Amino acid sequence: MKHILIFVFAFLCFSRAFSQVQVGIYHSGLSAQIGVGTDIEKKFFGELRFLAPDRLELDLGIEAIGQYNFYRSEWYNLHGGVMLGFFGDFGIGPEASIGLPFGTTIKPISTFRRLGILMEATPYLLGDQVFLRGNLGLRMRLGGD
């Protein structure tokens, strides 16, 4: 319930701050993320991602991501950027992470370009360990034209 309230609060804050907002849900192996961000069609865009753990995975976390669109077309965007995150579980303090997400957003439906499929790879450093995370998910632009 707490995660839903955080998501709704963040969504309302972003939707008032920007004329167009995007929301997404992503999956990377065992963990899922819920994202809220600015217009992914702009040259520069940002996103907050909240870890959406299930009962077996108790780590909580949030990531702030700033990205740059290297290439934009009607059918797909290629983008990359910087990610800063904080993760923790119940008993250990939060750990900071930093990463370099690179990916593509494919817009497969010609009559509904607001829907996109995200494919992303992020090499990142969490504590003293290096990981490579792959994300696959859906994102949708809301508001605006």
CATH number, domain containing residue 58:
2.40.160.20
| Residue range of the domain that includes 35 | 2-142
pTM of the model: 0.77
Q: 141, 114 in Cβ contact below 8 A?
A: yes
The pLDDT value recorded for residue 58 is 57
**CA dist., res. 58 & res. 51, Å (int):** 10
- Any idea which residue has 């809301």 for tokens? 142
Q: How many domains does the chain have?
A: 1
- Does residue 46 carry a pLDDT above 90? yes
Which residues have CB under 8 Å from 70's CB, separation 6+?
A: 78, 79, 80
Structure-token pair, residue 60:
């909580």
pLDDT, average across residues 101-118: 90
Q: Where is pLDDT greater, at 49 or 9?
A: 49
Distances (CA, A) of 71 to 6, 52, 56: 32, 30, 39
Q: What confidence category does residue 110 fall into, taking pLDDT thresholds of 50, 70 and 90?
A: confident
pLDDT value of position 130: 92
Q: How confident is the model at residue 81 (pLDDT cuts 50, 70, 90)?
A: very high
Cα(121)–Cα(136) distance, rounded to whole angstroms?
A: 9
Query: Which token pair is 124?
Result: 């990142």
Between 15 and 59, whose confidence is greater? Answer: 59
